[in-house]
Amino acid sequence: MKIDQLPKVSLTQLKTPIEVLKNLTQKLNGPSLYIKRDDLTDLALGGNKTRKLEYLIGDAKQKRANTLITAGGIQSNHCRLTAAAACKTGLDCELVLAGSKAEKPNGNLLLDEIFGAKINWCERDQREATMNLVVERLQQEGKRPYMIPVGGSNEVGTVGYVAAMKELKEQIDAMNLTIDTIVVASSSGGTHAGLQLGAKLFGFDGTILGLSIDQVKIGVDSFLPVLAKIANATAERLESDIVFREDSFQLICDYLGDGYAIPGEMEREAIQLLSRLEGILLGPVYTARAMGGLIDLIRQGYFESNHNILFWHTGGVPELFAYNEWIC
């Protein structure tokens, strides 16, 4: 089906703003920096999963489901936004979180509780199995479950970022702005894959550079096939015959630090620069890592100094409140 015909619910006002990072550009003395503010999607403190959930919940409603199930880490932004979106659209929500019950929930976990999601705890490598068990239990209880994969990165959710690229292209055309490179945090891959497919469909000629956040996928080689698979499945859903290969994607995996959700000095500097120069908050897990990587690439002279670089802010700001002891 064409993108405008796919089932969708509205969870946020769009478009999100594009801003100039004037002070940061000056400070780094490199390419001109812009930012796309998907941290300002207006559901429950924002983030990239909202665009995916518009299509995922559209599909769930069409299939007459009444309970969403998804999984993630203890501070998952995706789980927080799924819980919030379920409330807004009149669905129940069960989450499968890797870890164990915190005595005093904070950050995203606090918000999961506020939105009334039922939480099922498990080990990180048991997430898929636990989701399947929850689905079985819900069916036995007479509910109609709808399972959303980790990060919402299947061919249904990824459409949200195909549409986001259409939005960006319209915005920059109206601004008479050429963007040479988009830099985006990449983890489960749907955001990066959707933008790349959208670029092909809507004629964005710049580079889309993913910065990997998640150490589980070690090195470039192991993740590129996943990006191609997501993009191809999404292209098929949109009845496009575009075919992606592993070398259709630009992914850098050099900024994994001590592992997933373990921020270090690079992330700390990125949070400080963006807050104190621009009044913009980053989340320690995803966006501070990606911005830290971007800053390092600029310092290394990776980009031409007359280029325009757009950082796609994918949100994650509520993570800050779970990292208070690390920050101070």
Q: Does 34 participate in binding ligand PLP (rule CB under 6 A)?
A: no
- What's the rounded Cα separation, in Å, for the pair 312 and 38? 7
Closer by beta carbon to ligand PLP, 179 or else 195: 195
Among residue numbers 216 through 255, which ones bind ligand PLP (CB under 6 A)?
none
Per-residue binder mask for ligand PLP (CB under 6 A), 115-154, x = binder: ------------------------------------x-x-
Binding residue for ligand PLP, selected from 16, 50, 108, 186, defined by CB under 6 A = 186
Residue 15, preceding peptide bond in cis (omega within 30° of 0): yes
State the minimum distance, in angstroms, from the CB of residue 269 to ligand PLP.
18
Stretch that binds ligand PLP, among 85-93, 164-172, 182-190, 233-241 (CB under 6 A): 182-190
C-alpha atoms less than 13 angstroms from C-alpha of 317 in its C-beta half-sphere? 18
Q: Does 316 participate in binding ligand PLP (rule CB under 6 A)?
A: yes
From the list 10, 32, 76, 212, the catalytic residue is: 76
Binding residue for ligand PLP, selected from 58, 145, 263, 283, defined by CB under 6 A = 283
Q: Are 134 and 96 in contact (CB under 8 A)?
A: yes
Q: Does 287 participate in binding ligand PLP (rule CB under 6 A)?
A: yes
Closer by beta carbon to ligand PLP, 33 or else 138: 33
Q: What angle do the packed helices 265-278 and 287-299 form, to 10 degrees?
A: 90
Q: Does 75 participate in binding ligand PLP (rule CB under 6 A)?
A: no
Q: Does 286 participate in binding ligand PLP (rule CB under 6 A)?
A: yes
List alpha helices for the chain, DSSP H. 22-28, 49-62, 77-89, 107-114, 127-140, 159-175, 190-202, 224-237, 265-278, 287-299, 324-327
Residue 207: which region, alpha, beta or left (left: phi > 0; alpha: psi -120 to 50)? beta
Q: What is the DSSP string of 169-188?
A: HHHHHHHT---SEEEEEESS
In 3D space, the residue among 170, 156, 192, 166 whose CA is nearest the CA of residue 55 turns out to be 156
CB within 8 A of 231, min separation 6: which ones?
158, 193, 194, 196, 197, 244, 248, 249
Q: Does 188 participate in binding ligand PLP (rule CB under 6 A)?
A: yes
Tokens representing 15? 């478009």
Binding residue for ligand PLP, selected from 30, 58, 160, 190, defined by CB under 6 A = 190
Residue whose CB is nearest to ligand PLP in the complex, by number? 316
Q: Does 47 participate in binding ligand PLP (rule CB under 6 A)?
A: yes
Closer by beta carbon to ligand PLP, 303 or else 312: 312
Separation in Å, CA 16 to CA 19, 40, 149, 199, 245 = 10, 7, 25, 18, 30
- What's the rounded Cα separation, in Å, for the pair 121 and 127? 9
Q: Quick check: is 186 catalytic? A: no
Stretch that binds ligand PLP, among 119-127, 128-136, 245-253, 308-316 (CB under 6 A): 308-316
State the minimum distance, in angstroms, from the CB of residue 263 to ligand PLP.
13
Stretch that binds ligand PLP, among 166-174, 198-206, 217-225, 281-289 (CB under 6 A): 281-289
Q: Does 196 participate in binding ligand PLP (rule CB under 6 A)?
A: no
Stretch that binds ligand PLP, among 61-69, 95-103, 118-126, 309-317 (CB under 6 A): 309-317
Give the amino acid at 213.
Answer: I
State the minimum distance, in angstroms, from the CB of residue 66 to ligand PLP.
25
Separation in Å, CA 298 to CA 3, 25, 172 = 36, 10, 22
Residues in touch with ligand PLP (CB under 6 A): 47-48, 77-78, 151, 153, 185-192, 283, 286-287, 314-316
